[in-house]
Amino acid sequence: MMRLFFEVSYKGTNYHGWQIQQNAATVQEKINNVLSTICQEKINIMGSGRTDAGVHCEQQFFHADIDTHLSLNDLLYKMNTMLPFDIAIHSIREVNKEAHARFDALSRSYEYRINTKKNAFTQNTSYYFNKILDVRTMNQAATLLINGEQDFECFSRVKTEVNHFRCSITQAIWEEKGEILIFKISANRFLRGMVRAIVGTLLDIGLKKITVVDFEKIIASKNRTEAGRAAPPEGLFLTGVSYPKELFI
């Protein structure tokens, strides 16, 4: 029996998020079914986190305890052959028995992608938003997110069951690349709905509906109703998860 770490990417358009739910197609369910078929026993994978319905992922990890005669290359090939085209396994690595895809993650990174001009090819993979934005002021506000460990309950989905709302954000910046506007954010952990709530609130700043001072007050309020609406899911990508090197064999 080996504990394996799997690196996966997926387009979230056709799924009701990562985590298994009743009467809804999820990424975790598809992978569980494929691994269970290959191994001829019930396999339940554990992801490094969960994404909401319609959210995409360029790099996610999950672990599973596998007993198989297949080489890791053969397992990789079989999984990709059996999985839907919008889910791809990129690598499989053996880890020590105590390694945990969720709890051992050091940091996670997301990008939120906005198309400022209509694009026929990015309907499900970016947010079309053609209003004029003050990106400079949006970045000024974003720097307030980077201040060591802070309580971000104001950006958390309500009725979320967590021990605390504190996160340490290490990157938060808007970058303009032609017609594309990208918000990049990294932290040790994220709350449910956090990135989309931050993006929606920063867009209000870009539209001059609120000020940087207002943004600071929103963080201090710890009240979700004070922050802006959540940006739509199709623009959000989980882009990376990092781990200590010593986990891997």
Tens digits of residue pLDDT in 57-88: 999 999 999 998 899 999 999 999 999 999 99
Give me the mean pLDDT over the 175-195 stretch: 96
pLDDT value for 160:
80
One domain, residues 141 and 222 = yes
Give me the mean pLDDT over the 134-161 stretch: 95
Nearest alpha-carbon partner for 5 in 206, 196, 243, 226 = 243
Q: Is the pLDDT of residue 249 over 90?
A: no
Percent with pLDDT over 70 in the chain: 100
Count how many domains the chain has. Answer: 2
One domain, residues 111 and 84 = no
Percent with pLDDT over 90 in the chain: 93
One domain, residues 115 and 230 = yes
- CATH at residue 208: 3.30.70.660
Split at pLDDT 50, 70, 90, the class of 203 is very high
Residue numbers of the domain that contains 125: 107-240
Tens digits of residue pLDDT in 101-110: 999 999 999 9
**Of 87, 103, 119, which marks where a domain is finished?**
103
Tell me how far apart the alpha carbons of residues 143 and 159 are, in angstroms, rounded to a whole number. Answer: 27
**Which active-site residues does the annotation give?**
52
Split at pLDDT 50, 70, 90, the class of 3 is very high
Q: Is residue 30 part of a domain?
A: yes
- CATH at residue 73: 3.30.70.580
**Of 76, 103, 130, which marks where a domain is finished?**
103
One domain, residues 58 and 156 = no
One domain, residues 164 and 184 = yes
Split at pLDDT 50, 70, 90, the class of 162 is confident
DSSP state string for 176-225: EETTEEEEEEEES---TTHHHHHHHHHHHHHTTSS-HHHHHHHHHHT-GG
Q: Output the average pLDDT for the chain.
A: 96
Q: Is residue 99 part of a domain?
A: yes
Specify whether the CB–CB gap between 184 and 107 falls below 8 A: no
**Of 103, 120, 136, which marks where a domain is finished?**
103
